[in-house]
């Protein structure tokens, strides 16, 4: 039985935030995670179901100064085919093309994918590699207030984030990558479409004079949240990608990962894939 008492679809951010401030609101932003979670009883609907897809400008993708800003309700398809993203962050387009299926990509939003906070959330990995932050908006003292949180601090556990219930993920923002930036994403699963990642991995950095710099490594489905591979980053930072360095990075990556056994894979296989993917992506970086 539905517990929804009100359904609203605001057209301005202010209306949405005011509603959110009243409490007992479920945010609908595509619904591709929400609906199945409700139907299996993992989540329940609050009194008000608020569809944020009609908020003007919330799905916009734009360049602001040296930052790229993706509105919270931009869909995975919006991102995949956006000129700006294709030009400056093709890594995101690449990841988007591996995301679920065409129908789900057309509905699922970036804000939803981030706030669902699945350890296997695909879009989170390249965003971590790009050093993104989230912008949270709320209605405080009669005005719209925003705060920024780096994405790698945002997740606190499976399905848990620092977002307060009165806050809406307004945008995800990252600095325009430099011309030297290279980044790659890899995910695994038994079939090529509609797959929840068994393991996902992203590696990015600037390749300057043969040295790999400002390296960021991100991993999915190998811990309670999507995570930064700090030891791997340390093993790679400022290094030439020699065989020895890559071997060190592979070992470090397995230290960074802390996978568990579940019905999709064993801990052994996840560790194995972390090693395979780290080597594979670093090889791609070398080839680039």
**Site residues, other proteins (CB under 8 A):** 1-2, 36, 39-40, 101, 188-196, 198, 263-266, 268-269, 272-273, 276, 280
Angle at 276 between CA 271 and CA 278, to 5 degrees: 95
- Specify the residue, 170 or 285, whose C-beta has the smaller distance to other proteins: 285
Helix residue ranges, H only, 57-162: 76-80, 83-88, 90-97, 102-107, 110-115, 124-129, 151-154
- Specify the residue, 112 or 205, whose C-beta has the smaller distance to other proteins: 112
Residue 144 makes CB contacts below 8 A (sequence gap 6+) with: 13, 14, 17, 137, 138
Main-chain dihedrals φ then ψ at residue 255, nearest 5 degrees: -75, -40
- Specify the residue, 84 or 196, whose C-beta has the smaller distance to other proteins: 196
- Specify the residue, 22 or 193, whose C-beta has the smaller distance to other proteins: 193
Task: Say if CB 106 and CB 77 are below 8 A apart.
Answer: yes
* Token representation of residue 116: 């669902």
**CB half-sphere exposure, 153, CA atoms < 13 A:** 6
* Token representation of residue 157: 């556990």
* Token representation of residue 214: 């400002």
Strands 168-175 and 133-140: antiparallel
Helix residue ranges, H only, 135-266: 151-154, 230-236, 243-256
């Amino acid at each position: 039985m539905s517990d929804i008492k009100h359904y609203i679809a605001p057209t301005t951010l202010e209306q949405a935030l005011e509603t959110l401030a009243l409490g007992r609101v479920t945010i609908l932003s595509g619904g591709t995670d929400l609906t199945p979670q409700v139907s299996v009883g993992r989540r329940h609907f609050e009194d008000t179901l608020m569809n944020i897809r009609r908020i003007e400008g919330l799905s916009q993708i734009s360049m602001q100064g040296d930052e790229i800003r993706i509105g919270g309700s931009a869909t995975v398809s919006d991102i995949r085919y956006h000129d700006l993203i294709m030009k400056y962050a093709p890594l995101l387009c690449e990841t988007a093309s591996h995301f679920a299926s065409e129908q789900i990509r057309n509905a699922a939003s970036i804000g939803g994918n981030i706030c669902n906070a699945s350890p296997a959330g695909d879009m989170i990995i390249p965003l971590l590699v790009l050093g993104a932050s989230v912008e949270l908006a709320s209605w405080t003292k009669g005005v719209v207030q925003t705060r920024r949180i780096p994405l790698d601090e945002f997740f606190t556990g499976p399905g848990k984030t620092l977002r307060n219930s009165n806050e809406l993920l307004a945008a995800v923002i990252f600095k325009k990558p430099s011309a030297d930036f290279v980044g790659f994403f890899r995910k695994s699963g038994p079939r090529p479409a509609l797959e929840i990642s068994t393991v996902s991995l992203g590696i990015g950095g600037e390749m300057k004079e043969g040295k790999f710099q400002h390296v960021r490594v991100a991993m999915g489905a190998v811990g309670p949240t999507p995570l930064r591979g700090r030891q791997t980053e340390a093993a790679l930072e400022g290094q030439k990608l020699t065989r020895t360095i890559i071997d060190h990075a592979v070992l470090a990556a397995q230290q960074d990962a802390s996978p568990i056994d579940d019905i999709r894979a064993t801990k052994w296989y996840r560790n194995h894939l972390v090693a395979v993917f780290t080597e594979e992506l670093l090889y791609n970086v070398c080839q680039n």
